[in-house]
Each structure stands twice: as C-alpha cells, then as structure tokens.
Structure 1
Amino acid sequence: MFRAFSGLNGEDGGLMGETRVCIDATPLLLRSAGVKTYVYYWTEALRLEGGANSIELFPMLAPPGEVVHEQSVLNRPATMARLAWLHLANTLPVPLLNGVGAGVSVFHASHQLLRPPTNTRVTATIYDMTCWLVPQFHSPANVRMAKKFAASVMRRADGLIAISESTKNDAVRILKLDPRRVTVIYPGVAESFFCAQPLQRAKPYILFVGTIEPRKNVATLLDAYERLRPELREAFDLVLAGSPGWGDPSVLARIRQGIRGVDYLGYVPEERLPALTAGASVFVYPSVYEGFGLPVAQAMAAGIPVVTSAVSSLPEIAGAGAVAVDPGSPAELASAMAQLLESDSLRESLGANGRSIAQQYRWDCCARKSWELFRSLV
C-alpha cells in the first residue's frame, strides 16, 4: 500500500499492526545510474508486496510506480532546485527528517545526501565499498561523503541490506560491522529483460552497458576489441551504451576520435535497454569492482552469454552464466570474447545457464525479504 506523505509533523501515526516505512527517494532525483534504478524498481515492488504495510517516499515525488524514471533528466531545473534545498537542509543542527521519523516505523536511508532521523528505527542499503577499496575511481568529494555516511548511518543503523555476499563481507571487514546486522538481499532485474525482443541491427554486436568511467574499465575493453582477429572485428561491432562519467576523458576522446567497429550510443533510456541487451551476441563487462553488477544480471536474464571480471561480486552474481577473466588483461579478455564469438553452441549453452541463474534476481523476492527485515525491527 502507498500512503500519501502528510508532511513533517508525524501526526498521522501508523495503523494498528501496520509497518510504515519511509524511504529516502533522493536517488530518483539523480541522472540514471545503478542506485536510481535500484530505488525505482524496489519501491514499486515493496508497494506490491506490502499487503497491509505501507511505504512513502521522501521527498514526496509520487506513489511508487507512478514516478517517471527519466523525470530527473527531463525536468532538470526542478530537480536541481530540490537537490539544492536538500543540501541546505542537511546542514541543520537537528535532522530535517526527525519530523518524518515520529510518524513511521522504519526510515530507510538510500543515499548519502540526507541525514536520517534520530527518533525511529533506521535501515540502509550498502551498494558497494568502492570508496574504500578503489578510491582513485571516485572524486574526493564522493569519497568524503561516503565515509561520512558510513560513520553517521551504517555504524548506527538497526539493520543493513547488502546487495551481495561480497559487498557484505567487504563492509563487515572495513567498517567493523556486526555481521548479524547485515542481511544480504539481491536486487531484481526488471521483468522486461526476461521477455525482451532482440533489437535488429545491420551487424551482430558485442555489448557493454555502463557509465564511461575508470572503474568500468572501458579502456581495457577497447584494447581487447582491437586485439580480435580482423575477421571477428569485421563480423561483430562493439556497442557501448552509457553516460559519460567522472574521470575518464581520455577514453571518451579515444571513442569519439573513432575506432573501426566501435559504436558509442551514449545514454540509453531505460525502456530501450532490454531490446538492446537481448540483441547482443555477447555481453562484456570488465569492471574493476562491483557491489552487484546489475548489467550482468540483466544480460543473463535476456539469455545473453557474458564475459565479466573474476573480482568482487561478479563471480558470485554470474556463476556459470559467464566467462570470468582478469580485468587487467586485455589479452585474456580478447581470448574469452573470441572463444564465444567463434562458437554458436558455447554462446547458446552459456546464455541458457545465465537465464536460469537470473531467475533468483526478482524484485518481488527482493521486496518480500526487505519487508521481513523491516517487520523484524518493529
């Protein structure tokens, strides 16, 4: 159930036996990225699976399921005004959200922008530990914000959701958390990926989806593609889909100068991703570190064979649905790509494995486990 958010005075207390959860929805104000996608689909699944329980979003945007995924891109002035107001509110001596906390059972912190209330149960999602393990792949400001969020929220939260066992293990080790407070709940893959109709392009293609930033290791992917035999490069394009990110101008310059066979699409709207993914011959994701690796799970759900990195959460998430390689080796990556591109039967068997594994990444399952956590704290 979704209940309209009534304000900051906490006067409309919960119904008898009802668990009311307020979710920090500030990621929905950001340009499309992994955390935004997570919050977008998770809140709608929580509404559908909540039964007599209810959720509300702060800042109030619209009921889950009615929020437009691209709204922050389409209405940039209003989005920037909201973010500026939230930044200002975060400097207040008493958390702005204490008024919210008085009226809900649990407040869930989704992002490091807002300080959660101090007068209710608090949970938070741990997406990854990149700011500790690979800080060179973030701006100094992001690293500072992440560490401040860890100190003020993660260490005192009543319950934490980690999006993979790998992320949980990293967080427990680095932040010295009690592992009993951390519950692993895998995110889901949108249903549209499981039933996507393949995009038809003039030539078969290898696909990468992700922000063009150093952590995604696109430079190594370009090197690997250029190592392929000329016959393979002639037969298969390399398609890159994703917004320009922080700290990778040399890779973007290299792409924009033009590499034979490489097609950079830039940002691809959410509704076009399933068909683009389902049309690929091979999906390649050589990231240096991932908390979960949603694009890998999406490709597996579409039945597409995957080549990914043998690091962090990626072997856990992909399992037998991918060929795992050293992300620092263009030669190893090129060899794995060639192995799949040259064998229809191997692509078919790996794709079938991936589709089977991806069945565990469902938003309804994620929502049910999340409600179990919320109710256990009330």
Structure 2
Amino acid sequence: MALSTLQGDRPLEVTDGTTVVVIPLYGQHELFAQCLSSVLEHTPVDVPILVADDASPDEASRWWVAELEAGGHLRHAVYWSRAEINAGFVGNCNRAFALCGRGDVLLLNSDCVVADGWVEGLRAAVASDGSIATASSLTNHGSIVSVPVRNTPAEALPQHTTLDVAARAVRENARRLYPRLPTAIGHCVLVRRAAIDLVGGFDEAFAPGYGEEVDFSQRCIASGMQHVLADDVLVLHQGGGTFQAAGSATRDALQLAHEKLIRQRYPAYRIAVEEAESEAASPLARALAIAGEAILGPRVTVDVRCLGPYLTGTQVHALELVHALWRTGQAQVRLLLPDGLGTYAQPVIEAMAGVETIRERDIVPTTRRDPLVHRPFQVSSLRDLSLLELLGERLVVTHQDLISYRNPEYFDHPRQWRQFRDLTAETLATAATTIFFTEHAAADALAENLVPAGRVRVAHLGVDHQLEGLQVDARIPAFADRVTDRPFLLCLGTNFKHKNRLFALRLLRTLREDHGWDGRLVFCGPHVVRGSSAGLEAEYLASRPDLREVTVDVAAVDESEKRWLLGRAAAVVYPTTYEGFGLVPFEAAGANVPCLFAAVSALAEVLPPALSTLVPWDPAQSAARVRPLLDAGAVRDAHVDGLRAAAATLTWDRTASAVLEAYHDTLALPARDLARVTEQHIPDARYWALRHQIGGTGMSLVGPDRLLPESTQRALAALLRRGATRGPLLTVLGALARLGGGSPPDRPSLPPAKDDDGDGDDDERHDAIEDAEGEAQVGRPDPRARRRAREDG
C-alpha cells in the first residue's frame, strides 16, 4: 500500500459501509507516532486510514509517515489531507467527514493507542442495531466509560499491565452488552454515515472544540438514533493531547462556555449523565464492572465485623477466607472491621500488605462503593443491608443453612420466627449472588424458592487452617478428673434438637449393654433456651441412673479445652440430622480420632458415605458398626485415614478460588441495584443509613424522642455556625459535661457474632434471631410475595 496526499475536497472512493479510520492531527508528534504505529499494527489491512492534518505547525509527522512508506512499512492505504489554515478540531472533523465519502468514520484522537480487535469490536457494536449512531470504546481516560475504576479517569493504565494484555482481557471477558450511552465519547468513536446524513456534522458553534460530540449526540437522540459502548474494546487515551497547544486558561474558559451552551440546548442531558454515572444496575455499570475486573481483578469489600474479641468458628472462617483471597493476588480487598477488633485478628490483618481497612464509624455518603460487597456470614438485621449498600454495588452473601428458617422452636414467639423468615427472604432476594457451603444447602434454599438458580454458587469450606495465630494449644480443663477415669465418646454441639444428643445417649446405652463397652459420654456445647433437647435428655436419663452416672455435660468450652477433649476421646459422636457443612468430622480427623456420623444432609456430600457408621436412627445397628472403631487397630486407622483424605481436598486455597469465581460470575450477571432494593423493599433502610451517619448521641438529641426541642435546635445551630460563638459554646458544654461526670453515649454498633454450638457451625444464628426481633415490620410488604413475583436473574 502507499501514502496518498489528497488535494482539494474530493472525497475518497469508498463504498457504503466501509470504515475509514480518521486521525485528526495538530502537533504532538510523539503522541501521533504512538497512535499511528498502533493503528498500523492492529487494524485490518483493508481499512483505509485518513490523517486529517489541521495545518499542524510541525511537519515531523508527515516526514515520518513518508519514511515509513519509503521503507515499505505501510500495509494500509494511508491518506494525508492537510488543511490550508487551522480550523480547529470541529472544522477539521467536518472536513474529514466529507472526505470519507459514503464511509463510516472511526474518529481516533491522536493521543490514543489501540490494540487488537479494536476496529472489529466497534463495527460489531454499531451493527448490533440499525438505530445506532455511534459506538465508543472503553478507555482509561474517558469520563463515564473510564476503567478500571468507574467514573475515575486516569492518565495511564495500572502499572502491573500493558495495553495489549489489558485489552485482550477486556475482550475475552466482555459480554458485548453494548450499553446505551447519553453521548458519544470522543476519544475513539465510530460514527455511522447514516447519522451524519441525518443530523449533519459537528456544530461550528462549538469550534474549536469541547462539547461538539455531545451536541451531535443529542441531535441524533432527538432524531431517533442512539449511542452505545463497545464494551469489548479498550483504547489507551493519553488525555488532553488535542488541546495542549492552548493555554490552560483558554481551555477552561472554552470548556465552561460550551458546557453552558449544552445546558441551554439540552437541559435534560445532565440528568442523563448523572444516571449513567450512578445507576448501579444498568448495563453500563455491569459492562464497566466486568472490564474493571478483567484489568484489576475483582474489587470487593468484605464485611468482617464478626472479628470481635471472641474466637469461634465464624471468626476462623472469616479470617481464613480473606487471607486466602489475599494469597491469590487476584482480588483487591477492603475489610470492614469492627470497632473492637479481636487481638487474634490484628496481626493477621496487618500482615496482609495492600489490604485496605475501614470501620463502620468512618462510612459516609461519599465513601467509595466497590463493585462487590461480601458478607461471609449470615445477615443479622435490615440495618446490615443498608450499611452494606453504602459500600458496594452488588451484594454477595454467604448463607449457611435453613434450620432456623424452617424450625419455629428456636424462637420465643411465632412472630419472631416470621420476622426471621422475612429477614432471610429479604436478604437472599437482595443478594446478587448467594454462596453456600455445600450443594445440599444450596438445593435446600432453591427448594424454598428463596434464591434463583442462576444466582447460587457453592464454595466448600477449607479445613486446612493456615493461620498460626488462630491455633491454640490444648489446655487441661477444670473438669478433667470427671472424664479421664475411663474412655469416652465426645459429642460436640449445642443442645439444639437437630443436634440429636438424645440419640447419642441411646447409642451409649446400646454400646454398654449389648457390646460391653465401659465408657462415658461427654456432652460439650452451649445450652439454649428455645429448641433445646434438654428436656428429652433429662426424661431419658431419669429412669436410667446407671447411664446418668457415665454421662457428663461440660457445657460450653473454649478452643483450648475442646482441643484437649478431642485429643483424649475414644471417638467423636456427631448424630446431627441437619448441617449446612459440618466441621466436626474434620476436627476429629485433625486429632486422629474417629467420628461417628450418618450420611445425611451436607455430610453425605463432604464425606465418603462409606465412612458413615450411624444408621439413622437405629441405635442397635449403629452400635454394631461403631464398636470396632473404639479400639486401636486397622479398622480404626482406616476410618481416620479416610477422614483425613476427605479433609485433604477441602483447602482454603480451593475455597478462595471458588469465591473468586463467584465474584466473577456476580459481575457478569445482571446487577441487582442494592440501593434500589433497600429503598423500595426495606422502608427503614434509609432510616438506618441516616441514623448511622447521625449516631446514637445525635439521635438522642434530635430523633423521635429528642431531648432538644425544635426551637433550641435552631438556636444551637445558629450559634455553632458563627465563629465568634462556636468556640465559647463548645467550651461551656464540655465543662458542664465534665461536671456532670458523664459523656455522650457512643454510637451503637452491631453486636459481634456468637458461637452457638462450640463446633464452628451455626455461629451467627442467635444474632440473626435476636436482631430480627427488633426490626420494624409495620407497613413492610411480604417478601415471599415479592420473591414469587421477581424475575429469575
């Protein structure tokens, strides 16, 4: 191919539908050299290239292209058209529109660099609908189409990547949504010839530049055409090169004048842009999130406010998960920490370089919202949802199981149970994706119609705990002498009925009476008031004093005492009827102790059924199968080896990989606008968000039961606004507070999650029950009715 110099205004002889790349040029040779080099490398050879030279004062660019031609380096037809006088960007583009004849015009700023597939992607976007006037590309510096961080133009791509790598990642991950835009974005835009024919070119009122593409776009919209984003095309924009020759004052004055003209002509345009910038559930938001993840990896805020002073299963899960996510190096993680962070968690978090942290008290309306916010334990209140909405556009929730959702016995009153069910339904209806520990737990939620099938993911827990700071040494408990006089079965878990402690008693009786095993049963776990099996156990033992003598209930223990018990048990008996995962068999394996369980619920999924020894719920058959495991030997060793082999597949690295995949899928799915859901479906969500900002002290002064009448509030506000009175007033109030011996109450914070069974399961159930009771229900629509009516995905 050759370089051709165009003379006069005679247009190129191109057929309808031909794409012509147009590079407007005025100085800035180094930027132009980068631009044209990339275009020559990444543009199909049958696409002509027109350099629209606007009487550039520096002819270095023209000489360089001539050298390329002389060296045989031009594979394309390159046309050079030089204006006799400088017309400015608007006039130069209009001249180029005319020179392209019947071709579509792909306008590319000379301060841009392109990558493979850029022309093909823009063409496909324009061709996707006959009413499309323009298609713009993604870029690092492009107002509402900026990536990797939405609405945040940057001078360059992140340092860890290159344009070729980033553009390929964007292209491979794109869903080709072609989201609608309120305007073409001028750095790189393919303009359909039909649009130019319909509304004309750029308006000279915007000469020499700024605002011309907005005006053109609005005329297209008014005439029935529309503008889209080619969400599979990423172009590097070294922003500002077009007008660098003008002084900053000139540029600013020009931009302000043209923005004023846009407001006068198109008063609704600003609204359209604001919606494009802020709408969280739009195709544009989805496309930008997908592209941002392709470049940076997922950006997620993880709510770990459970990391309070006490270390239980929930805390271990949360810390191990975020540390595993950090180890992958594939996610940018921000942690929402509790005000009272546990001492066990502090060193772990400080060691994770690059992990950002934030506390609830620091959240304000302008706090950055990440594409994702993840609650890795069950939501406790509607207030949680409103707070999470401030931190992320899409909510990911980890939900353990539905035992409390289904069982009213765990609540003081049927109304409490209904409120808890409403909260669960509300949360899962709000979540963009729900992660379950097992397929069984996911299937359970699907059977209840709580989640759409397309928004369910499974991430098995890891059991290979990596964090040394979370490991505790065994400690001899005060009750040691009560359990060491003979071998014992250890039954871990709260005395909820579904933990089936009564069956453990029946099994012990059968082992002693039918198999001559002279051992004890040790119950270890908290006691509850509602849904307890305490009455059944007492009734069973009342008429069996011999069994009562060998049964010990040590109630709740700490982790070091539990480790001591595990290390000395003949076996762990785990007769639970329902689990969302079930950590106890793996804790037993870690102590080289057999675990007696039945292949029910999630246990049938995470453990080989051949290892199950309990026959639901027949004590005679179960005892016959259990007895060989209580003595040292090959049978016992094989069982423990089987448990350890199953545990070896459940790693935190594998968990992190599954969670990252869930994040990726969440961004690819149509978003559920968390803000919109909370506004429409949770009437008090905005109240909680506002209350969070005001704080408990402020609410006591100005809230519904305010201590300060309206007239006093106005007087104080007036005094505090004046510099002359503000200082003295605060000094007097401080002195009065000290004389009174008190201080304003702190803002209330969410309570830490509690361990409810001592075995790492169900750790947040009581929090959810207690918080659900306190939520306002007046006027709330039935979430089950909404759930039945909602669309799947």
Name the TM tier (shorter chain). 0.7 to 0.9
Query: Match for 2:456: what amino acid?
Result: V
Measured after TM superposition, the shift of residue 263 of structure 1 is: 2.5
Q: Is residue 523–residue 553 contact of structure 2 (8 Å, CA) maintained in 1?
A: yes
Query: Match for 1:340: what amino acid?
Result: L
Uncovered stretches (5+) of structure 1, i.e. residues with no partner = 1-11, 70-85, 90-95
Q: Partners in 2 of 1:266 and 1:338 — Cα distance?
A: 26
Counterparts of 1:72-221 in structure 2, within 5 Å, are 99=365, 102-109=368-375, 110-113=377-380, 114-115=384-385, 116-117=388-389, 120-137=393-410, 140=414, 143-175=417-449, 177-191=451-465, 201-221=484-504
Tell me the residue number matched to 1:357: 646
Q: Is residue 137–residue 214 contact of structure 1 (8 Å, CA) maintained in 2?
A: no
Q: Is residue 464–residue 650 contact of structure 2 (8 Å, CA) maintained in 1?
A: no
**What's the TM-score once normalised by structure 2's chain length?**
0.38
Q: Is residue 512–residue 518 contact of structure 2 (8 Å, CA) maintained in 1?
A: no
Q: Partners in 1 of 2:366 and 2:600 — Cα distance?
A: 40
Query: Match for 2:654: what amino acid?
Result: C
Measured after TM superposition, the shift of residue 353 of structure 1 is: 0.7
Alignment equivalent of 2:586, drawn from 271, 293, 297: 297
Q: Is residue 399–residue 436 contact of structure 2 (8 Å, CA) maintained in 1?
A: yes
Query: Match for 1:348: what amino acid?
Result: D
Query: Match for 1:221: what amino acid?
Result: A
Q: Is residue 284–residue 306 contact of structure 1 (8 Å, CA) maintained in 2?
A: yes
Q: Is residue 574–residue 596 contact of structure 2 (8 Å, CA) maintained in 1?
A: yes
Measured after TM superposition, the shift of residue 367 of structure 1 is: 2.1
Q: Partners in 1 of 2:554 and 2:299 — Cα distance?
A: 42
Q: Partners in 2 of 1:43 and 1:361 — Cα distance?
A: 16
Q: Partners in 1 of 2:641 and 2:473 — Cα distance?
A: 16
Q: Partners in 1 of 2:415 and 2:315 — Cα distance?
A: 19
Q: Is residue 106–residue 121 contact of structure 1 (8 Å, CA) maintained in 2?
A: yes
Larger mean CA deviation between 346-355 and 320-329 belongs to 320-329
Larger mean CA deviation between 350-359 and 241-250 belongs to 241-250
Query: Match for 2:448: what amino acid?
Result: I
Change (3 A) 1:253 1:157: same
Q: Is residue 428–residue 450 contact of structure 2 (8 Å, CA) maintained in 1?
A: no
Change (3 A) 1:126 1:348: same
Q: Partners in 1 of 2:574 and 2:367 — Cα distance?
A: 40
Measured after TM superposition, the shift of residue 35 of structure 1 is: 3.9
Q: Partners in 1 of 2:418 and 2:645 — Cα distance?
A: 40
Q: Partners in 1 of 2:637 and 2:558 — Cα distance?
A: 28
RCO higher in structure (CA 8 A, sep ≥6): 1
Tell me the residue number matched to 1:310: 599
Alignment equivalent of 1:53, drawn from 332, 350, 354: 332
Q: What is the SS of the residue equivalent to 1:175?
A: coil
Q: Partners in 1 of 2:339 and 2:324 — Cα distance?
A: 17
Q: Partners in 2 of 1:67 and 1:321 — Cα distance?
A: 42
Larger Rg: 2
Q: Is residue 217–residue 327 contact of structure 1 (8 Å, CA) maintained in 2?
A: no
Q: Is residue 121–residue 157 contact of structure 1 (8 Å, CA) maintained in 2?
A: yes
Q: What is the SS of the residue equivalent to 2:653?
A: helix
Query: Match for 2:496: what amino acid?
Result: E
Q: Deviations over 1:47-106 (max 9, x none)?
A: 44445622302435449962599xxxxxxxxxxxxxxxx9xx9xxxxxx98849743231
Number of equivalenced pairs: 343
Q: Is residue 189–residue 301 contact of structure 1 (8 Å, CA) maintained in 2?
A: no
Alignment equivalent of 1:239, drawn from 514, 522, 544: 522
Residues 1:259 and 2:259 aligned together? no
Tell me the residue number matched to 1:250: 535
Q: Partners in 2 of 1:63 and 1:186 — Cα distance?
A: 25
Query: Match for 1:23: what amino acid?
Result: V
Q: Partners in 2 of 1:239 and 1:120 — Cα distance?
A: 48
Tell me the residue number matched to 1:340: 629
Larger mean CA deviation between 165-174 and 279-288 belongs to 279-288
Change (3 A) 1:286 1:33: farther
Query: Match for 1:284: what amino acid?
Result: V
Q: Is residue 204–residue 235 contact of structure 1 (8 Å, CA) maintained in 2?
A: yes
Identity between Structure 1 and Structure 2 (%): 23
Q: What is the SS of the residue equivalent to 2:612?
A: strand
Measured after TM superposition, the shift of residue 158 of structure 1 is: 1.6
Change (3 A) 1:303 1:213: same
Uncovered stretches (5+) of structure 2, i.e. residues with no partner = 1-151, 159-295, 349-359, 477-483, 668-793
Larger mean CA deviation between 321-330 and 163-172 belongs to 321-330
Q: What is the SS of the residue equivalent to 1:334?
A: helix
Q: Is residue 292–residue 317 contact of structure 1 (8 Å, CA) maintained in 2?
A: yes
Q: What is the SS of the residue equivalent to 1:172?
A: helix
Change (3 A) 1:309 1:52: closer
Q: Is residue 199–residue 279 contact of structure 1 (8 Å, CA) maintained in 2?
A: no
Counterparts of 1:30-41 in structure 2, within 5 Å, are 34-41=313-320
Query: Match for 2:442: what amino acid?
Result: K
Larger mean CA deviation between 236-245 and 255-264 belongs to 255-264
Runs of 4+ residues over 6 Å off in structure 1: 195-200, 254-258
Query: Match for 2:522: what amino acid?
Result: V
Change (3 A) 1:99 1:270: farther
Alignment equivalent of 1:25, drawn from 304, 308, 311: 304
Query: Match for 2:396: what amino acid?
Result: T
Q: Partners in 2 of 1:237 and 1:68 — Cα distance?
A: 40
Q: Partners in 1 of 2:557 and 2:347 — Cα distance?
A: 15
Larger mean CA deviation between 237-246 and 347-356 belongs to 237-246
